[in-house]
Amino acid sequence: MARIINFSAGPAVLPEEVLARAGDEMLDWRGTGMCVMEMSHRGKEFISIAAEAEKDLRELLAIPAGYKVLFLQGGATLQFAQIPMNLLGGKSKADYVVTGEWSKKAAKEAQAYCDVHIAASSEDKGFTYFPPQEAFKARSDAAYLHYCSNETIGGVEAHWIPKSDIPLVADASSHILSRPLEVSKFGLIYAGAQKNIGPAGLTIVIVRDELVGKAAKGTPSVMDYKQQAAADSMLNTPATYSIYVAGLVFKWLKQLGGLAEIEKRNVAKAKLLYDFLDGSSFFKNPVSKNDRSRMNVPFTLRDPKLDDEFLKGAEKQGMVQLKGHRSVGGMRASIYNAMPLAGVQQLVAYMKEFEAKHG
């Protein structure tokens, strides 16, 4: 059976080369006679897999010395609580920028642990833009400033890094590894793996050393960054297979030429789709042009009554998961690193046909 073109927002498409490699090693990883899923996380084989994955991630992102890299569980959503538990450090305040559903959820979760102040928001225009720096009203006595650098649902991406006098925290789940990133400007970066890194079940946390070791009293041991760092992210059994596949994805990215090269590819894919949308009178993207996501492209049809027909027609051509998030409706094409240019070309060709038929 031919592979479909999968526009899912997550769990998302993985590179075919990575899937093939994982398949080849399914029954026997490098002569061990066992699958990675069967390995002890304490054994030398898996420890080498995890260590190499961390090494390659550090190289890809050029993570400077002075940062811990943690391979955790619980998804990015668990970090909504884990971050205030670890970063408040005795303070009672944290600031949040709200630009979509995920940053809104993060701010709401943090309210259970501290006084949350909304430093900037784009809710006034339906989360269709990222606020400019001059709109930020952060408090100097807050423990950190949190924002979501790419909102998966609304398709809003920050193409610049906010300036902050307090530690900057970013939820980069849906665009991490899609372009180079200046890690040194952040106190903490976190990302669920199931979009651009690998299978669901793994969460990456990159945290500055000085922010580790400040967990609030009562923080569960598995949620304490210091304890996880001391145990090499193996305080309990980690998501071993997810870490293994993530490591294969890191190798794939390095072989392509790293993040500068994948960024070029992502720019080309996004431009192709946005150029079509901008030239169409039938389809529309609601996001401010300067803040459009390269990874998640929401769009609507002029007549919503045609949504089901559009989706059924796309599926007949082998394109799936184009339905928008239930909270906003419409359509959404997620075009992560592993989505080939040919997939976007086929989508645009279909959209042209559909518009010609119904426009």
Is 232 a known active-site residue? no
Among 29, 56, 95, 171, the active-site one is 171
How does DSSP classify residue 120? E
C-alpha to C-alpha distance for 40 and 34, rounded to whole angstroms: 11
195 is catalytic: yes
Tokens representing 263 are: 């960024």
Write out the E strands in the chain. 5-6, 67-72, 93-98, 115-121, 145-148, 150-151, 156-157, 168-171, 188-192, 203-208, 283-284, 296-301, 319-320, 331-334
> Which residue of the set 104, 195, 214, 269 is catalytic?
195
Strand partners for 13: none
Q: Which of 29, 56, 102, 104 is catalytic?
A: 102
The answer to whether 149 touches 171, Cβ cutoff 8 Å, is yes
For the CA atoms of 60, 66, 67, 68, the dihedral, rounded to the nearest 10 degrees, stands at 120
Report how far residue 173's alpha carbon sits from residue 177's, in angstroms, rounded to the nearest whole number.
10
Q: What is the rounded distance in angstroms from the CA atom of residue 21 to the CA atom of residue 85? A: 39
Per the annotation, the verdict on 224 as an active-site residue is no
Q: For the chain, how many residues are written?
A: 359
DSSP state of 111: T
| Residues taking part in catalysis | 102, 171, 195
